[in-house]
Structure 1
């Protein structure tokens, strides 16, 4: 089958299901595009020329399985693809860690202007999770040195993996610990954080997709 035909089928399946979109996309079509392109190992920004591309059985099987799990288990797509995008960068994602998303991305891409007159050189990212904020700051502010801190060992491991993926090891350090304890005595031009922010009542009302994410990272 051609990619375009499969894409239409996935879109129709997602559109007819009672799904919530909020982990990288906000509608069924974009979700279907991401799912199919990732399963086919194609760039996420592929053009319309790929629509006529025939898909092999490996890709078709993966698309079928991901679509089924997305609908039946309400599993967020990044946990299926293992990928998410933040501030224009691709990050690895694994179950048990928070999926990257934050309005801080826009501030990073604008180098925190107009809030910072000059781009900050020494930055601390508290509750760094998978390291997307810390790594994005280092990428978009090439003169910066960034420290990221998190108390979750799995998140710290993933953050270090993402830092290596973006080849930012020389400018980003990820520490395991609680808040300021691993960086005691260090001084920073800017401290950023996207800490747990959902209260117990709101947690109860969140769509099912969010229940796959670690509770300690949300509430």
Structure 2
């Protein structure tokens, strides 16, 4: 049985304007982080977009404003901030509180597995658990877990469905160095963002972007691995999305009444697009129980990450073939 997944955070109220800060009151990076955390807590912001708490989000915004990688924060934590930099930091903190837009939209950047990606309001802010699993279970950078595909270098073809900003396709190019990757999305706007990221990483020769409905643009092709992070928020979840999530494209969330409308289609058609030794890696969030109820005899392997339990499943091509033979 799937383990219970996390429920979405409650919708937050709109917060008042920030108090004025006199010059010289805040001096170091730590000072500004502390101030931001206090304001974020006061406003009861939601953190679900790459950072999971107010401290991490404050440090992220301070570093981005100062053109520092997040990993450099500790080196400069006690460094003094110039006056013009202080104004910029206070401005972005204020906009985060008053607009309730995701921090990634304010600075047009998000980090996944330490790599920077461009994002804006045309795409959902990437925070998929699949990025970590590519490292831990597919012979990637970590290689700590069981390898679901024994030889990552032997993977020749990867398909990513619902690619959005293209982050998982790009991370797949790292995990599978010899693979050609097809990335599909129904949104023209999302693909424009993905194209920018593909160019930024110099992967035009390895990642092909396709506009269309799931498998339609790649009909007749088979892959060693299919990756999907589709819309999977159910009706109850859609009704209680916090303000930050309502700033993102609705199409990237809405999974129908039970959350698995798109997941069903991905699962039902996957066997026609996998090589015999291939498999499907799919994120479903809190809908794991609904999925198991819909496919009671499916051999789902539920994978945990540092921040999730049972929100991503793996199923092999052979198990998919057997599933359909049994008529599920």
TM-score by length of 1: 0.93
Q: Which residue of 2 aligns with 1:128?
A: 163
Write the deviation string for residues 21-74 of structure 1: whole angstroms up to 9, x where unpaired. Answer: 111111111111001010111111114331233333443232222211211221
Q: Which residue of 1 aligns with 2:230?
A: 195
1:115 aligns with 2:148: yes
Q: Which residue of 2 aligns with 1:20?
A: 46
Taking a change above 3 Å as real, the CA distance of residues 155 and 28 of structure 1, as seen in their structure-2 partners, is same
Of the two, which has the highest radius of gyration?
A: 2
- State how far apart, in whole Å, the 2-side matches of 1:82 and 1:174 are: 21
Q: Which residue of 1 aligns with 2:243?
A: 208
Say if 2:137 and 2:148, in contact at 8 Å, map to a contact too.
no
Q: CA deviation at 1:115?
A: 1.9
Please list, as runs of the form range in 1=range in 2, the aligned pairs for 1:18-167 lying within 5 A after superposition.
18-110=44-136, 112=138, 113-119=146-152, 120-167=155-202
SS of equivalent residue, structure 1 residue 186:
coil
Q: CA deviation at 1:6?
A: 2.1
- State how far apart, in whole Å, the 2-side matches of 1:5 and 1:175 are: 46
1:178 aligns with 2:206: no
Worse-superposed segment, 116-125 or 54-63: 54-63
Uncovered stretches (5+) of structure 2, i.e. residues with no partner? 1-26, 139-145, 255-328
SS of equivalent residue, structure 1 residue 45:
helix
Aligned residues: 219
Q: CA deviation at 1:14?
A: 1.6
- State how far apart, in whole Å, the 2-side matches of 1:155 and 1:210 are: 16
- State how far apart, in whole Å, the 1-side matches of 2:128 and 2:74 are: 29
- State how far apart, in whole Å, the 2-side matches of 1:169 and 1:211 are: 32
Worse-superposed segment, 130-139 or 106-115: 106-115
Write the deviation string for residues 99-157 of structure 1: whole angstroms up to 9, x where unpaired. Answer: 10111112211353522223222000011110011111002221111110111111101
Q: Which residue of 1 aligns with 2:286?
A: none
- State how far apart, in whole Å, the 2-side matches of 1:193 and 1:41 are: 32
Uncovered stretches (5+) of structure 1, i.e. residues with no partner? none
Q: CA deviation at 1:190?
A: 1.1
Q: CA deviation at 1:189?
A: 1.0
Write the deviation string for residues 166-209 of structure 1: whole angstroms up to 9, x where unpaired. Answer: 22222111111221222222221111111111122211112221
The root-mean-square deviation of aligned C-alpha atoms, in Å, is 1.6
Say if 2:122 and 2:193, in contact at 8 Å, map to a contact too.
no
Say if 1:111 and 1:140, in contact at 8 Å, map to a contact too.
no
Q: Which residue of 2 aligns with 1:217?
A: 252
